[in-house]
Structure 1
Amino acid sequence: MISPNSTDSSSQLAQGFKPRHVTMLSIAGIIGAGLFVGSGHAIAAAGPAVLLAYLFSGLLVVLVMRMLGEMAVANPDTGSFSTYADQAIGRWAGFTIGWLYWWFWVLVIPIEALAAGHVLNQWFPQVDAWLFALGSIIALVVTNLFSVSKYGEFEFWFAMAKVVAIIGFIGVGFAVLMGWIPDREVSGLSGLMAEHGGFAPNGLSAVVGAFITIMFSFIGTEAVTIAAAESNDPSRNIAKATRSVIWRIGVFYLLSIFVVISVVPWNDPLLASVGSYQRALEIMNIPHAKFMVDIVVLIAVASCMNSSIYIASRMLYSLGRRGDAPKMLKATSSEGVPRAAVIASTVIGASITVWSYFMPAGLFQFLLASSGAIALLVYLAIAVSQLRMRRILQQRNVELTFRMWLFPWLTWLVIVFICAALAVMMITPEHRTEVTTTIGLALAISFIGLVTSRHPAPAARVTSVG
């Protein structure tokens, strides 16, 4: 096995993640405000049938992670699926998916920073929200600049706080639903469905729309394969994290959303505006619900922003290592941190954050739309790569200790499903702009990738696996 981190000591990453860091990152590292607040929009659109959207989204993620896990366990790499697309499909594919993924996480930085700025501005209205947003980015980039172990430690505690909050919410919710807490009566799911139009009040088309929205909150699960490459035993950590995906999705998403829709009527006018967790706590008569949720949201967005900087910088570093980005971006500090990649990603994210307060609203929405379907394109690239990589690994007699289930049938099923989802987005008015903008961006990057792939690859470029 050839690792991209095995040559040139001036561009090696440190293996500073401890097993507990990787474990906690895999459990809750990328849970942002989408679960605590944004899920309210999906519930308001689809009603209780949003559970189906979460179930199918979760199933897709489980299958994609299994495919990615097969490749990553066999050949751990900081570039993860971008490197595997490079090796299995072609340099242009790795180039395209790597830059798309980097762009996605660069855009997540302002999204989470704006959320943090909004919360802090509510507490301290005398300070402009954009200053809080910018300050939060500056504070968090520091954890990414010095050593990966410091980032891992910050994320460990951020993720732990989110886990405690989610489990606490589920526990309180079930206690109220079971009638164990006095003076806090709720109707329950069956009662709410009977009173508010049944399980799928807006039809299956609304469930499909919710599925597309939910996919945005699931992306990032695959980032554990990027982080694990900076641990002492990446193959073992990747396998462990991949196996845990099923219960993570089951507990953190399905159970918590079940609690929400069992407590809050899907057509509650405040559900989408204040968020699912806050509205559920308010109906359960939990004191200081807004303040508690604001604290959790602030922690969640800080964590997600921190992870965004980390993920974007590592993908940019990997692109630099493979000659698909300026070579200065592959340089690392004495602590093994790709500081140039960290700074470049952060500066662009911070610039968009500040500009978002002053640029026309339509322009910022256009930038966000350009990332709307990237999750599905990344998953499609992973599936196609695994389909081809299995044959490559077998030809090289690489022993696969972690395999995709029912290969190649489930892999093909995922490919067909993702293509169908993209087609549905294309014909759905509210999602057409997202998919066309993203595909347009992907085609432009692919063209650049095809042109650059004609040039000789640098000596440090990884071209083999196994």
Structure 2
Amino acid sequence: MESHEELDRGLKNRHVQLISIGGAIGTGLFLGSGKTIQLTGPSILLSYTITGCIIFLIMRALGELMLSNLNYHSFLDFIADYLGKKAAFVTGWTYWFCWIAIAMADLTATGMYVSYWLPNIPQWLPEIIALAILLGLNLVAVGLFGELEFWFALIKVVAIIALIIAGAFMIFTGFKTGAGTVSISNLWRHGGFFPKGASGFALSFQMATFAFCGVELVGLIGGETSDPKTVLPKAIDTIPLRIILFYLGSLFVIMSIYPWSSLSADQSPFVQVFSEIGIAAAASIVNLVVLSSAMSACNSAIYSTSRMVRSLAQEGSAPKTFTKLTKNRVPGNALVFSTLIIFLAVLMNFFVPSRIFTMISSIATICFIFIWGMIVFTHLRYRKTNPELAAKSTFKLPLFPYTNYLVFIFLAFVLFVLALATDTREALIFSPVWFIALLGIYHFKFERNKPISSKILQDFDKQDQN
């Protein structure tokens, strides 16, 4: 009989594969890609390629760590093992905050998308209904979480494939739009491949990085699959193919159909393309897709924050009640707690200006960069302190340790780019406040009353381990 102290390994291979695809496709691709292209031009294709390669390396590091010990149910477990309890405390609560912020923003967006069809109902009503449904299904079984994400991801995948097929038809037939003839040459005929110069190309990396926030969720769900040794490597190794197909494929097609300079920054290019080929309900179709994307983000947030809170509780960094599992072996108390925090978004819609949500989302994105850096740094420590275990690994990060350093350089570059843009500079300045607050809480909770002799002994232990 399986222990009820262990999380249910109820996710199937098809769940993990589609969830990993969905994690790499954000709402921004459907709604915000017009604005992205306007700010950068065709060079956005190169930005996504470079960023996608870095994300792949981060995920390989995460995969190697997760498979080094099948008792790991989240990256918080191996961070605690290799970097200590304080690092795990800060990383865990930071990741929790990342997803809470994303959920709040996407829950607000859910109400807006439903209002497109039902303009007379109050925006908060669909938000409450959506949150209640997602919580209920997550409480039943992890398999239902997987099933929801499977269908949400499938909607996004079908929309992108439909765009690529329609675009390919228009390219090969020399289709004429109001902006001219559809042609691949549109990628370089209107100011070149880098029409915004080096500065425009550099700034595009903040948008490309934002697009991949949440892709590390595969590392969490991998712990609840029946066969993580097979499923996790497959999900991670197909990331480059997914990036080529979904991001590069769709943006390549869009910019071949329309010169980048003629795309509207305020309208989804998907709506423009589908309308061009005579689909009258194009706006409604894209609205359905972005609604599913927002619901997917909320669903992932409820899942990931509950698992993270449970891991924190197991480490002693959160109340022990959050470790308890229901009869379906899901962390019920942690699920309810995270959902209640996300529910604050409904209340905040009445009192807080939208600019605050932009600030919170920007800070969350900066925190995601911190999470990725911690994963890669932990991998570095794992390889150096546990070489015997690392030698047995069949799923290694290629070109260690050079790829680790390459990731660090890229993440530092993105932070520098964030400092250049006005709308993200404020978030970058305020982000340290979050980390200082967490370190302060940790100190008062765990270190303030600890005897000095105990601290010295712990320091000696750490030196012996190293």
| TM-score, normalization by structure 1 | 0.89
- 2:186 alignment counterpart: 191
1:135 equivalent to 2:126? Answer: no
What is aligned with 1:426?
Answer: 419
Distance change (3 Å), C-alpha of 1:231 and 1:372: closer
Q: Distance in 1 between matches of 2:378 and 2:333?
A: 29
Are the counterparts in 2 of residues 92 and 453 from structure 1 also a CA contact under 8 Å? no
**How far apart, in 2, do the equivalents of 1:135 and 1:265 lie?**
41
Structure 2: segments with no counterpart, 5+ residues: 455-461
Aligned residue identity for 2:245: V
Decide whether aligned partners of structure 1 residues 57 and 397 sit closer, same or farther in structure 2, where only a CA change above 3 A counts: closer
1:235 is the counterpart of 2:239: no
Aligned-partner SS, 1:402: coil
What residue number does 2:65 align with?
71
Partners of 2:167 and 2:135 lie apart in 1 by 36
Matched, 1:208 2:202: yes
What's the CA shift for 1:117? 1.2
Partner residue, 1:253: 247
CA separation of 1:397 and 1:70: change in aligned 2, threshold 3 A: closer
Structure 1 CA distance for aligned equivalents of residues 356 and 297 of structure 2:
23
Measured at CA, do residues 353 and 220 of structure 1 come closer, stay the same or move farther in structure 2, by a change above 3 Å?
same
AA aligned opposite 1:191: N
Pairwise CA distance, 1:192: 5.6
Structure-2 separation of matches of 1:432 and 1:337: 39
Q: Deviations over 1:140-174 (max 9, x none)?
A: 22211111011112222222222222112111111
Residue 116 (structure 2) pairs with residue 122 (structure 1): yes
Measure the CA separation in 2 of the matches of 1:164 and 1:373: 31
**Paired residues of 2:108 and 2:345 also in contact (CA < 8 A):** no
C-alpha separation between the residues in 2 aligned to 1:400 and 1:248?
25
**The one of 28, 49, 59 aligned to 1:34:** 28
Residue aligned with 1:143, SS:
helix
| Residues 100, 301 of structure 2: 8 Å contact kept | yes
Question: Which residue does the alignment assign to 2:283?
Answer: 290
Whole-Å separation in 2 of the counterparts to 1:330 and 1:224: 21
Distance in 2 (CA, whole Å) between partners of 1:109 and 1:201 is: 35
Deviation for aligned residue 1:403: 0.6
297-306 or 333-342, which deviates more: 297-306
Further displaced range: 38-47 or 357-366: 357-366
Matched pairs, number: 450
Q: Among residues 304, 328, 348, which one is paired with 2:297 in the alignment?
A: 304
Q: Name whichever of 176-185 and 242-251 sits farther off.
A: 176-185
Aligned counterpart, 2:457: none
Deviation of 1:102 (Å): 0.8
Tell me if structure 2 keeps the 8 A contact 1:263–1:283: no
1:329-348 maps to which residues of 2 (within 5 A)?
329-348=322-341
Deviation of residue 199 (structure 1)?
Answer: 1.8
Report the Cα distance in structure 2 between the residues aligned to 1:312 and 1:439, rounded to whole angstroms: 21
Partner residue of 1:88? 82
Aligned to 2:459: none
CA apart distance, 1:81: 2.5
Over 3 Å counting, the alpha-carbon distance change for 1:139 and 1:216 in structure 2 is same
Segment drifting more, 446-455 vs 68-77: 446-455
Structure 1: 5+ residue stretches without partners: 1-5, 457-462
Map of 2:357 onto structure 1: 364
Q: Which residue in the other structure is 1:159 paired with?
A: 153
**Alignment check: 8 A CA contact 1:36 1:276 kept:** yes
Paired amino acid for 2:145: Y
Deviation larger for 306-315 or 331-340? 306-315
Question: In structure 2, how many angstroms separate the alpha carbons of the residues matched to 1:47 and 1:244?
Answer: 27
Provide the rounded CA distance (Å) in 2 between the counterparts of 1:354 and 1:207: 39
1:179 is matched by which residue type in structure 2?
T
Alignment-derived partner of residue 20 in structure 1: 14
Q: Deviations over 1:200-244 (max 9, x none)?
A: 222222222221122122122111111111111122221111111
- Equivalent of 1:355 in 348, 355, 361: 348
Code of the aligned partner of 2:344:
S
> What SS does the corresponding residue of 1:236 show, helix, strand or coil?
helix
- Over 3 Å counting, the alpha-carbon distance change for 1:373 and 1:29 in structure 2 is closer
The AA in structure 1 aligned to 2:432 is I
| Structure 1 residues 443 and 189, CA gap change in structure 2 (3 angstroms) | farther
Question: How high is the sequence identity, in percent, across the aligned residues?
Answer: 32
**Is contact 1:425–1:435 with CA below 8 Å preserved after alignment?**
yes
SS at match of 1:372: helix
- Name the stretch that deviates more: 128-137 or 327-336: 128-137
- Structure 2 equivalent of residue 326 of structure 1: 319
Alpha-carbon shift at residue 14 of structure 1 (Å): 0.9
**Separation in 1 of the partners of 2:401 and 2:32?**
35
What do residues 85-111 of structure 1 show as CA deviations (whole Å, max 9, x unaligned)?
Answer: 222222221111111111111111122
* 2:272 maps to amino acid: R
Distance 1:267 1:356 in 2: 35
Residue in structure 1 matched with residue 214 of structure 2 by the alignment: 220
Is contact 2:139-2:332 (8 Å) kept? yes
Distance 1:18 1:309 in 2: 19
- RMSD of equivalent CA atoms: 2.6
Q: Is the 8 A contact 1:145 1:337 kept in 2?
A: yes
Counterpart of 2:268 (choices 272, 275, 284) is 275
Q: Which amino acid aligns with 2:426?
A: T
CA distance in 2, matches of 1:333, 1:341: 11
What is the DSSP-based 3-state SS (H/G/I as helix, E as strand, rest coil) of the residue aligned with 2:43?
A: helix
Residues 418 and 385 of structure 1: is their aligned pair in 2 closer, same or farther, counting only changes over 3 Å?
Answer: same
C-alpha separation between the residues in 2 aligned to 1:213 and 1:453? 38
- 1:32, 1:303 within 8 Å by CA — same for their partners in 2? no
Report what 1:413 is aligned to: 406
Distance 1:312 1:199 in 2: 41
Q: Distance in 2 between matches of 1:182 and 1:425?
A: 39
Structure 1 stretch displaced more, 165-174 or 82-91: 82-91
The 1-side partners of 2:349 and 2:367 are apart by: 21
- The one-character-per-residue Cα deviations of 1:341-392 (angstroms, maximum 9, x if unpaired) are 1111111112123313432334333323321312211111111111111123
